[in-house]
Chain A
Amino acid sequence: MNTASPVLEVRGVSRAYPLPRPRPLAPRPVRQAVADVSLTLARGESLGIVGESGCGKSTLARLITALEPPDTGHVLIDGQDPNTLGKAALRRLRRAVQMVFQDPLGSLDPRWPVWRIVAEPLAGLAPEVPRADRRARVIDALAAVGLGKDALDRYPHQFSGGQRQRIAIARALVTDPDIVVADEPVSALDVSVQAQVLNLFLELRRRRGLALLFISHDLDVVRHVTERVMVMDRGRVVEAGPTAEVLAHPAHPHTAALMAAVPRLEAAWTGR
């Protein structure tokens, strides 16, 4: 595999959702959740996607992870379009892209113990890992996010928000993916826990050479975890560039407005 070629390339993807008819027999309006978005992500790189609520960040994440096909455009992971692949090939490709969902509790099956939740991607995507070795891999993944063996047999509701987010991250990492899409991984957490989880992402990137697609509406958070940033507004990319530059001199009025809206965060989590 060529390290110079991007691990992820998104070419002009769009996705619209039908809305309810305003009155009977009227034509059905659509909401253009994502409109003509393109981006590239190099191996080990970290890209932030920011924008206010409803601008299409999560929808873009679902397109990139092939949970939904785009209406137009292509997603290329390692040069392959997941939406054209058969089941077996798609499964192989999925191993490269994992996601940490926006809602940490909602993304964990309430009826499953933690070891089973974290082992699920192994069972589905890593057939070469024997069943007997799964538990050891799960323990490693949990250790990487700072959780001990005592977590294994407990259920999601028995953990705090920050711990659940760690479980979700452990699950995303257990198959050793090339890309992790993190959808607002810290916005549900309070500030001190945010710091821990963000430092965790930074450390994992350094250690594993993970490419990170970091979705957030919080510019201060993005400033600390990403090298490049993309600003979205109503489904479109309105500004993109190196994070420091974009945030220091926002060229688009929408970016400036976003920055004004965000209350400053304490520097609590910057000491890594």
Chain B
Amino acid sequence: MVEAMGQRRRLGVAAWTGGAIAALVLLVGAVSLVWTPHDPAVMDVANKLSGPSWSHPLGTDHFGRDTLSQLMVGARVSIAVSLVAVGLGVGLGVPLGLLAAARAGWIDEAVMRFNDLAFAFPALLTAVLITALLGPGAINAILAIGIFNIPVFARVARGAALALWTRPFIQAARLAGRGRTRISIEHILPNIAGALIVQGTIQFALAVLAEAGLSYLGLGSQPPEVSWGRMLNEAQTFLFLDPRLAILPGLAIVVTVLGLNLLGDGLRDRLDPRLEPRRGGR
């Protein structure tokens, strides 16, 4: 019994694989800040649609731009947009959720009804609508994706926090003269961090997918910026001529999302207190 619990709390092979993939994508994105094999924007028409070679390990596109360099910069864009979008969700959603849990009554009611409203909209469709209204571009893509992360984190934070508010150590903190805000920050937040990290990983995967979707539709980052979604879009004209151009960014998206999901699932088994067997005092 104890052993089974111990095993559940260790990260499995899947989680490690997911973590390694996520770390690799992060590393590639970071490297692209200082070095890429070629300038991803420079066209070399003489070399267009060439296959893998020593100077272009993954070949070139229809303008002769280096595919590997584009994929590397695409990783950076994808990470940056997703990170800021999820950060927006965490930064606004978590305080809202903590507030709702700390103040039962109309504040809780108001926050949760706002949440229900946000959940009632199909996220990706509305993100498309928002970027269509605000105009395309990376910043607006971040806003459109970020807005839908707010209620997600508010709900997770509220649920996990509510379960904690009945625990004796919170009552003990009240007896020690601590106010609700302070208890939320000092006791509740550290104890729900696990659940938030798990949700953050999953939301990150969704954001990568959403960013790719928006830029595929031409609503995300604009030329000369590179992104996986736009690479896919441009590749579809040459789908039969050179499927490599569609397969590579597609693979990059799938592998990144899969890696993040594997990591999220693994972390959930380990960190999420909701799955933890209740450890009684006796």
Q: Which of A's residues lie within 8 Å of B, judged by CB? A: 62, 65, 67, 87, 91, 94-95, 97-99, 101-112, 120-121, 123-125, 161, 171, 188
Residues from chain A with Cβ under 8 Å of B172 in the complex: 99, 101, 107-108, 120, 171
Q: Given known contacts A101-B168, A107-B169, A111-B190, is B175 in contact with A67 (CB within 8 Å)?
A: yes
A-B CB contact pairs (8 Å), 22 listed: A67-B171, A67-B175, A97-B175, A98-B175, A99-B172, A101-B171, A104-B281, A105-B281, A106-B168, A106-B169, A106-B281, A107-B171, A108-B169, A109-B190, A109-B191, A111-B187, A111-B191, A121-B176, A121-B177, A124-B178, A171-B172, A188-B281
Q: Given known contacts A106-B167, A107-B169, A108-B169, is B281 in contact with A121 (CB within 8 Å)?
A: no
Contact with A along B165-191 (1 / 0, CB 8 A): 001110111111111000000010011
Q: Given known contacts A101-B168, A103-B281, is B187 in contact with A109 (CB within 8 Å)?
A: yes
A123 contacts B168, C-beta separation under 8 Å: no
Contact with A along B252-282 (1 / 0, CB 8 A): 0000000000000000000000000001111
* Bound-state Cα–Cα, A106 to B167, Å: 7
B94: shortest Cβ distance to chain A, in Å? 17
Select one of B168, B179, B279 contacting A102, CB under 8 A.
Answer: B168
A124 contacts B168, C-beta separation under 8 Å: no
How many pairs, one residue from A and one from B, have CB atoms within 8 Å of each other in the complex? 69
A125 nearest CB neighbor, chain B only = B177
* Bound-state Cα–Cα, A140 to B187, Å: 25
Select one of B173, B177, B279 contacting A91, CB under 8 A.
Answer: B177
Among A109, A124, A188, the one with the most B-chain Cβ atoms within 10 Å of its Cβ is A109
* Bound-state Cα–Cα, A95 to B175, Å: 9
B176 contacts A123, C-beta separation under 8 Å: yes
Q: Which of B's residues lie within 8 Å of A, judged by CB? A: 167-169, 171-179, 187, 190-191, 279-282
* Bound-state Cα–Cα, A125 to B281, Å: 27
Please name 12 further chain A to chain B contacts, defined as beta carbons within 8 Å, in addition to the given A67-B174, A103-B168, A107-B168, sorted by A numbering.
Answer: A67-B175, A94-B175, A103-B281, A103-B282, A105-B280, A107-B172, A120-B172, A120-B178, A124-B176, A124-B178, A161-B281, A188-B281
Q: Given known contacts A102-B168, A107-B168, is B279 in contact with A121 (CB within 8 Å)?
A: no
Residues from chain A with Cβ under 8 Å of B176 in the complex: 94, 120-121, 123-125, 171
* Bound-state Cα–Cα, A139 to B169, Å: 21
A86: shortest Cβ distance to chain B, in Å? 13
* Bound-state Cα–Cα, A41 to B176, Å: 22
A109 contacts B169, C-beta separation under 8 Å: yes
* Bound-state Cα–Cα, A54 to B71, Å: 65
B177 contacts A94, C-beta separation under 8 Å: yes
Residues from chain B with Cβ under 8 Å of A94 in the complex: 175-177
Q: Given known contacts A105-B281, A188-B282, is B169 in contact with A121 (CB within 8 Å)?
A: no
* Bound-state Cα–Cα, A91 to B179, Å: 10
Residues from chain B with Cβ under 8 Å of A112 in the complex: 187
* Bound-state Cα–Cα, A85 to B204, Å: 47
A77: shortest Cβ distance to chain B, in Å? 13
* Bound-state Cα–Cα, A161 to B172, Å: 18
B170 nearest CB neighbor, chain A only = A109
A-B pairs with the 6 shortest C-beta distances? A124-B177, A103-B281, A107-B168, A121-B176, A106-B168, A124-B176
A121 contacts B191, C-beta separation under 8 Å: no
B190 nearest CB neighbor, chain A only = A111
Residues from chain B with Cβ under 8 Å of A97 in the complex: 175
B168 contacts A121, C-beta separation under 8 Å: no
Residues from chain B with Cβ under 8 Å of A171 in the complex: 172, 176
* Bound-state Cα–Cα, A163 to B167, Å: 20
Residues from chain B with Cβ under 8 Å of A98 in the complex: 175
B171 nearest CB neighbor, chain A only = A67
A110 contacts B191, C-beta separation under 8 Å: yes
B187 contacts A99, C-beta separation under 8 Å: no
Residues from chain A with Cβ under 8 Å of B174 in the complex: 67
Among B171, B190, B279, the one with the most A-chain Cβ atoms within 10 Å of its Cβ is B171
Among A67, A104, A120, A123, the one with the most B-chain Cβ atoms within 10 Å of its Cβ is A120
B222: shortest Cβ distance to chain A, in Å? 45
Among B176, B179, B281, the one with the most A-chain Cβ atoms within 10 Å of its Cβ is B176
Residues from chain B with Cβ under 8 Å of A123 in the complex: 176
A65 contacts B281, C-beta separation under 8 Å: no
Among A65, A103, A123, A124, the one with the most B-chain Cβ atoms within 10 Å of its Cβ is A124
* Bound-state Cα–Cα, A120 to B173, Å: 7
Among B171, B177, B280, the one with the most A-chain Cβ atoms within 10 Å of its Cβ is B177
